[in-house]
A and B are shown apart, each in its own frame.
Chain A
């Protein structure tokens, strides 16, 4: 374990991923026609990826463990790690929430709520900022929604509960 570094972990993950995909490639049905079976090209790619991942693994192992200053600023504890990455984690969580809310609230309302929550999380919640964020969310998402709905005639999803 003491020889491990971040690249080693990524390389091992890539090799495991290639293994799973290789195994899945045997589930691909082989038709009786055509010169190139549907499983051949994915297997060529997986062989190449596995080969490259092995080189990556060997190189990362020969480099030795990460030194204390390998990733400046990045904390080692879980709480420190969460604090360090809190903005991207919040963005992903809010975006996932936005996508989950679309069937119930529709794209317009979910979109405005998502942008407002995201801006407030990233920018802070003083009363002046809340007003600014609300205005930005309504104008930006409402404007885009109007362009696509009325200008480009795209049927954006409506909410089961809200009807818009």
Chain B
């Protein structure tokens, strides 16, 4: 049965049209990633309308290709011009640009390309192995647990997306509220329609996503008339050829850096809300801390390129693990992919891999293939990508806004979706202007229905609200949601206030309680390990005399 499903998935993906679409997707993603100010999520959002008429396997393969290309495209601009194409490649610039300026642009690009490939492949292997296991765990979830999982996803996204947790939480709550407009899904009762036929239909969430994310960002990019008329990457070198052999040799020499980066990337990707923009900085920090030559960082160190590039490509594998195993998007891009699945009437949930094995295997295969294609396309068309980054921002904005109109109309063939796009574009622009992160709102829009349906199911089974704190999984998600809510505060006063010394042990001790409650053998063992880690950290801090250690970290911003 498994072999049959894999063979079916291969038949879908190895179709000439699908392969062509994937190659175009990778190239499109590389271009989008290479243009500073044009994010990967926006590229995936704009790809979505093209996939409506495709079978889900083909559509998702195209979107995954755009994403994989986008994650790697950022490095070209970063290495050659010193301006990171995407937030996921910020750390690559720290050493990539100095190396290129020092006369080795080919090696810097080669290290970036092959580290991206390694990170992508490692996370693809983890995706194939971990997603089915996590999905098995997910099958244990009851509506109470699922509801709390959604709350956790929103809280952690709000805490990681911006500097202000309150604004992040308000954005998440507004996202949930947007989905309540229109007919109630369970009872079909109109809500917040204000007597209008338009509002009664509710907002199409793809139009909302494109408006909030793509439309508002484009307008932000052209705010400054002078900057709008110039391309951001006019400086830097053009004549670079990737030094594949030298890069592979260097990569093999620093294999542990690549492996660590890929693991950091994958596990950061698994966390809802934390994507490549967080992972590349974390991996860079870790590589610097563990390097034998930390002083070389910032001057063109190969490790400084390998770590962030392997980690940012690995985040997609992690985000796909969460989406496929639990039905929760790991970031804005997987939220859009989840939207694509919903358009094809496929509802991701813990039973997704069991119920839609061909589609699940197609995602696995396309992720592997897209990663291989990325190396080939990037090597063959480097000069073209660098030239494309010189397009002026206002031309890009005009063309994309025109395309947004056509693409959004194509979703349902309804004029009203265009106005949804427009008004949510205005809202997104204002939210950005007033410092509200958009990622929690987008997750709120995507997860709003899931949260409400699970709350309704939970109360239909038993109206006792204590189940939310007595069921182990629900309690587990509640605890980590609370700790993730405190995380921004912890990060801002880390090394300055005494209580921060107890944050990590606190997380370990609190998370161990529901794990003990779950029973069995492995989970209580994990709980014991967590308690041991907590005790060890406390012991170390006690031996240091509860001295606050100065924390030096890089700023993490919304991607």
Contact A49 B173 (CB under 8 A): yes
Contact A34 B192 (CB under 8 A): no
Given A36-B455, A144-B402, A119 and B173 contact (CB-CB distance below 8 Å): no
By a CB distance below 8 angstroms, the chain B residues around A29 are: 189-190
Contact B177 A21 (CB under 8 A): yes
Among A10, A85, A95, find the residue whose CB has the most chain B CB atoms closer than 10 A.
A95
Contact A34 B405 (CB under 8 A): no
Given A45-B177, A92-B425, A111 and B402 contact (CB-CB distance below 8 Å): yes
Given A31-B189, A91-B219, A102 and B177 contact (CB-CB distance below 8 Å): no
B525 within 8 A of partner (CB): no
Contact A88 B177 (CB under 8 A): no
Complex Cα–Cα for A129 and B412 (A): 36
**Cβ proximity bits B471-513 to A, threshold 8 Å, 1 near / 0 not:** 0000000000000000000000000000000000000000000
Chain B residue with Cβ nearest A43: B180
Which residues 23-68 of A have a CB within 8 angstroms of B?
A: 24-25, 28-29, 31, 33-36, 38-39, 41-42, 45-46, 48-49, 52-53, 55-56, 59
Contact A35 B219 (CB under 8 A): no
Which residues 187-245 of B have a CB within 8 angstroms of A?
A: 187, 189-192, 194, 218-220, 222-225, 228-229
Chain A residue with Cβ nearest B170: A52
**Cβ proximity bits A142-159 to B, threshold 8 Å, 1 near / 0 not:** 001101100011111100
By a CB distance below 8 angstroms, the chain B residues around A156 are: 406, 409-410
B422 within 8 A of partner (CB): yes
Contact A144 B177 (CB under 8 A): no
Given A53-B170, A107-B409, A111-B402, A36 and B186 contact (CB-CB distance below 8 Å): yes
Given A56-B170, A122-B229, A115 and B426 contact (CB-CB distance below 8 Å): no
Contact A35 B463 (CB under 8 A): yes
B547 within 8 A of partner (CB): no
Majority DSSP secondary structure for residues of A touching B: helix
Contact A145 B406 (CB under 8 A): yes
By a CB distance below 8 angstroms, the chain B residues around A95 are: 401, 405, 422, 425
Tell me how far the C-beta of A75 lies from the nearest C-beta in chain B, rounded to whole angstroms: 13
Contact A92 B177 (CB under 8 A): no
Complex Cα–Cα for A161 and B410 (A): 22
Complex Cα–Cα for A7 and B434 (A): 8
Give the contacting residue for A92; candidates B397, B426, B459; CB below 8 A.
B426
Given A56-B166, A107-B405, A41 and B455 contact (CB-CB distance below 8 Å): yes
By a CB distance below 8 angstroms, the chain A residues around B184 are: 28, 38
By a CB distance below 8 angstroms, the chain A residues around B394 are: 119, 122-123
Interface locus among B68-76, B246-254, B321-329, B413-421:
B413-421
By a CB distance below 8 angstroms, the chain A residues around B429 are: 88
By a CB distance below 8 angstroms, the chain B residues around A7 are: 434
Chain B residue with Cβ nearest A60: B166
Contact A88 B399 (CB under 8 A): no
**Cβ proximity bits B338-349 to A, threshold 8 Å, 1 near / 0 not:** 000000000000
Tell me how far the C-beta of A156 lies from the nearest C-beta in chain B, rounded to whole angstroms: 6
By a CB distance below 8 angstroms, the chain A residues around B189 are: 28-29, 31, 38
Contact A14 B170 (CB under 8 A): yes
Contact A152 B397 (CB under 8 A): no
Contact B463 A87 (CB under 8 A): no
Complex Cα–Cα for A155 and B452 (A): 34
Chain B residue with Cβ nearest A118: B398
Complex Cα–Cα for A102 and B169 (A): 38
By a CB distance below 8 angstroms, the chain A residues around B388 are: none
Complex Cα–Cα for A10 and B394 (A): 30
By a CB distance below 8 angstroms, the chain B residues around A42 are: 177, 180, 191-192
By a CB distance below 8 angstroms, the chain A residues around B187 are: 31, 33-34, 38
Tell me how far the C-beta of B56 lies from the nearest C-beta in chain A, rounded to whole angstroms: 15
Given A85-B223, A96-B422, A21 and B191 contact (CB-CB distance below 8 Å): no
Complex Cα–Cα for A85 and B401 (A): 18
A136 within 8 A of partner (CB): yes
A105 within 8 A of partner (CB): no
Contact A10 B434 (CB under 8 A): yes
Complex Cα–Cα for A125 and B341 (A): 44
Which residues 372-427 of B have a CB within 8 angstroms of A?
A: 392, 394-395, 397-399, 401-403, 405-407, 409-410, 413, 415, 418-419, 422, 425-426
With A28-B189, A35-B460, A154-B53 known, 14 other A-B pairs at CB within 8 A are A34-B186, A41-B452, A45-B180, A88-B220, A91-B218, A92-B219, A99-B419, A107-B409, A119-B394, A123-B394, A133-B398, A140-B402, A152-B50, A153-B53
B residues with a Cβ closer than 8 A to A are: 49-50, 52-53, 166-167, 169-170, 173-174, 176-177, 180, 184, 186-187, 189-192, 194, 218-220, 222-225, 228-229, 392, 394-395, 397-399, 401-403, 405-407, 409-410, 413, 415, 418-419, 422, 425-426, 429, 434, 451-452, 455-456, 459-460, 463
Can you identify 28 A-B contacts, CB atoms within 8 angstroms?
A10-B434, A28-B184, A34-B460, A35-B456, A35-B459, A35-B460, A36-B456, A38-B189, A41-B455, A45-B173, A49-B177, A56-B167, A87-B223, A87-B228, A88-B220, A91-B397, A103-B415, A115-B399, A115-B402, A118-B398, A118-B401, A119-B395, A122-B222, A122-B225, A122-B394, A123-B229, A140-B403, A157-B409
